[in-house]
Amino acid sequence: MRKIILLLLCFIFTCQWSVQALDWAYSFVVWKGNVYEVTDEKVSDIGDVIGKVRRGTNDMTGEYFGDASNMYPKGTKYYEIMGVSTKNAIAVEVGDNEWHKAVFVHKVPNHWMENVIIVLFFVVLITIAIIIMLRINNKRKM
């Protein structure tokens, strides 16, 4: 019995169970295929709402697609900054009547999920077209 307990303890202490999670270098939001780093600079010349966070990021793999953010919850709104091109910077709502400047960093790398959505859309469209054509063809035969 002692040998079994000793072997079990040796097994437990030699096994390594690792947990991994990313530590993001900076807060960011993604809008229209562009990644913007959210700075601490407050902005007051706010224009129209141009988008919002629709999904989060995967903290284990670092993957994200679409309008995502690594720090801000779903529904956080993006605004244009008056006099500044959205190619350079946007404003992110961080609180009630408080916006921070988010500056363009880089383009988003392609994610396989974006392609799946496009392919699925065309598959559904083609299926609907085939069903309509078959129904029209059946009505002609009658």
Lowest mean pLDDT: which of 1-5, 41-45, 63-67, 127-131?
A: 63-67
Q: Which is more confident, 36 or 15?
A: 36
Report whether pLDDT(57) > 80: no
Q: Which is more confident, 77 or 16?
A: 77
Strands (E), the chain: 28-31, 34-43, 46-52, 55-56, 68-69, 77-81, 89-95, 98-107
Residue carrying structure tokens 């530590």:
23
Give 69's contacts (C-beta < 8 A, 6+ positions apart). Answer: 27, 28, 29, 30, 53, 56, 57, 76
- Interatomic CA distance for residues 40 and 19, integer angstroms: 31
CB neighbourhood size of 112 (10 A): 8
Report whether pLDDT(142) > 70: no
Average pLDDT (85-99) is 87
pLDDT for 113 equals 64
pLDDT for 119 equals 81
Give 43's contacts (C-beta < 8 A, 6+ positions apart). Answer: 81, 91, 99, 100, 101
Query: CA dihedral in degrees (20, 25, 26, 28; nearest 10)?
Result: -60
Report whether pLDDT(127) > 90: yes
Q: Which is more confident, 100 or 118?
A: 100
List the beta bridge partners of residue 104: 36
Q: Which is more confident, 13 or 83?
A: 83
Per the confidence metrics, is the pTM higher than 0.85? no
State the amino acid at position 39 in one-letter form: T
